[in-house]
Amino acid sequence: MRIVTAMSGGVDSAVAASRMVEAGHEVIGVHLALATSPATLRTSARGCCTAEDSGDARRVADRLGIPFYVWDASADFRRDVVDDFVAEYAAGRTPNPCLRCNERIKFATLLDKALALGFDGVATGHYAQISVPGDAMNTTGRRELHRAVDPAKDQSYVLGVLDEEQLARSFFPLGDSTKARIRVEAAARGFGVAAKPDSHDICFIADGDTRGFLARHLGERPGKIVDETGVEVGDHEGAYGFTVGQRRGLALRRPAEDGRPRYVTGVDIAANQVIVGPEEMLGIDVITGESARWCGPPPVGELRCGVQLRAHGQEIPATASVDADGQVTIRLARRTRGVATGQAAVLYDGTRVVGSTTITATARG
C-alpha cells in the first residue's frame, strides 16, 4: 500500500516510518508545519513541531531512503486547535487540544489530503493498536481501535475521536511495543533521535504557562473567588484561567474556618467568578456528554463499559447510554473528582475503544 507517515521529528514517528517501510509499503514522510513562526531551536523537552524537529524528521527520512515533505497546516491548526482552545477556556470549559488535533488535523487535514493524492492511508507514532476481523481480540467483525500493550504509553484516549472510516485508513505500528524497545530499535537503526526527549504539555504553549497564554489572548478580567456559600475569599485576574479540581495558584486571602484546603469546584464565566470548596464537593458520578464520536456503530441500549476521563487517568467502571438526540449519559460505578466540562470521556469495552464524548455537565446521582 501507499502510506503517508506523519513524522514529527521524534523517536516514535521515526520508528513508525521504518516499520512501515520494512512491512513492504510504499512510504513517504510528511512533517506537518503547525506554527507560522516556529522556534528555530528547541530549548527544552516541551513542545514539538519546531524547525529543529522538521530537520530531525528529514534526516530520518533520508536514512530510510523515502521521500520527505513539509506540509503547511498552520492555518488549519490555528483555527481548529489553538483558537478552539482559547474559545473553550473563555467559555469556562477545559478542552484537550491533543484530541482536537487528532480529530481535525492528523486524521482530517492530513488523512484527507493523503487520500486525495492517491495514498491508501496514514501511519503515526501513536501507541495504540488496530485490530482487524480475524484477530483474537476482535469482537465486532470490523476494524477496531484497542489500547497499546504498554499501559504507561497507551494513547488510545486521544485517538477516541476517530470514526470507523478514519480507522479503516489508519496505522499505528508501535502499538505492540514499549517505549524502551522503541528507543533501542531507533538506536540500532542509527537514528539520531533515539535518545531525544519526549515532548510534553501543550505543543503551542512551549513554556508550559497556560494561564499566561490565555491572558495574552483574552486579556485580564479581574473578578472574585467565592466559597460555596457565596462569600468572597479571594481575587482572580480571569476566571478562564481556572479549572475544576485545581488547588494551586488560588492565593486565597481568607482561609477556610476548619483550615482544610479548598479546590476549584466551579467556574462561572457569566458572573466572572471562581467557586471554591472542600475536596468532597469535587466528587461526581454522573456525566452528560455531546458531540459523540464513535469508533464504529454507536451503542444501543445501556452499555456496560469502562470510562477514562484524562489522557493518563485510570479507567472507571460505568454504564453509558445514548438518547435519540445523541446525548450521552454516563453513570460511574464510583465517585471521582476533578471532572470538568470540556474534557473528553472515552468509553472502553475491554481494551477496545468504543468512542468518546465531550463532557457538558456533571452531577451526583
Q: Do residues 58 and 181 both lie within one domain? A: yes
Res 37: pLDDT: 58
Q: Do residues 66 and 178 both lie within one domain? A: yes
Among 211, 203, 218, 280, which residue's Cα sits nearest to residue 242? 211
Q: Do residues 6 and 98 both lie within one domain? A: yes
- Examine residue 37 and state whether it is found in any structural domain, yes or no: yes
Q: What is the pTM of this model?
A: 0.90
Among 111, 102, 149, 106, which residue's Cα sits nearest to residue 130? 149
Condensed to tens digits (0 to 9), the pLDDT of residues 117-170 reads 999 999 999 999 999 887 878 878 888 999 999 999 999 999 999 999 999 999
Chain centroid to CA 346: 11
Q: Do residues 75 and 90 both lie within one domain? A: yes
Q: Provide the sign of the torsion angle of the four alpha carbons 102, 107, 113, 119, taken in this order.
A: positive
Q: Which domain holds residue 348?
A: 282-363
* Residue in 48, 98, 101, 295 annotated catalytic: 101
- Examine residue 28 and state whether it is found in any structural domain, yes or no: yes
Res 186: pLDDT: 96
State the Cα–Cα distance between residues 134 and 137, nearest whole angstrom. Answer: 8
Q: Do residues 183 and 307 both lie within one domain? A: no
Which residues in the chain come in under a pLDDT of 50?
40-47
Q: Do residues 275 and 286 both lie within one domain? A: no
Contacts of 183 (CB under 8 A, 6+ apart): 11, 194, 195
Among 163, 131, 170, 167, which residue's Cα sits nearest to residue 149? 131
Res 43: pLDDT: 46
Res 333: pLDDT: 97
- Examine residue 22 and state whether it is found in any structural domain, yes or no: yes
State the Cα–Cα distance between residues 322 and 327, nearest whole angstrom. Answer: 6
Domain count, the chain: 3
* Residue in 48, 49, 98, 203 annotated catalytic: 203
Res 42: pLDDT: 45
Would you call 101 a catalytic residue per the annotation? yes
- Residue whose entry in the numeric block shows the C-alpha cell 441500549: 301
Q: What are the Cα distances from residue 122, in Å, to 4, 27, 118?
A: 5, 10, 12
The CATH number that applies at residue 6 is 3.40.50.620
Q: Do residues 272 and 287 both lie within one domain? A: no
Res 51: pLDDT: 66
State the Cα–Cα distance between residues 92 and 236, nearest whole angstrom. Answer: 14
Q: Do residues 113 and 238 both lie within one domain? A: no
The CATH number that applies at residue 242 is 2.30.30.280
Q: Do residues 93 and 181 both lie within one domain? A: yes
Q: Do residues 183 and 238 both lie within one domain? A: no
The C-alpha cell that represents 127 in the structure block: 501507541
- Examine residue 196 and state whether it is found in any structural domain, yes or no: no
Q: Do residues 102 and 239 both lie within one domain? A: no
- Examine residue 73 and state whether it is found in any structural domain, yes or no: yes
Type of residue found at 10: G
- Examine residue 79 and state whether it is found in any structural domain, yes or no: yes
Q: Do residues 9 and 96 both lie within one domain? A: yes
Q: What are the Cα distances from residue 325, in Å, to 64, 218, 292, 329, 365?
A: 49, 33, 11, 12, 22
- Examine residue 199 and state whether it is found in any structural domain, yes or no: no
Res 285: pLDDT: 95
User: Under a CB-based contact definition with an 8 Å cutoff, are residues 263 and 246 in contact?
Assistant: yes
The CATH number that applies at residue 339 is 2.40.30.10
Q: What are the Cα distances from residue 69, in Å, to 30, 72, 125, 224?
A: 5, 10, 17, 50
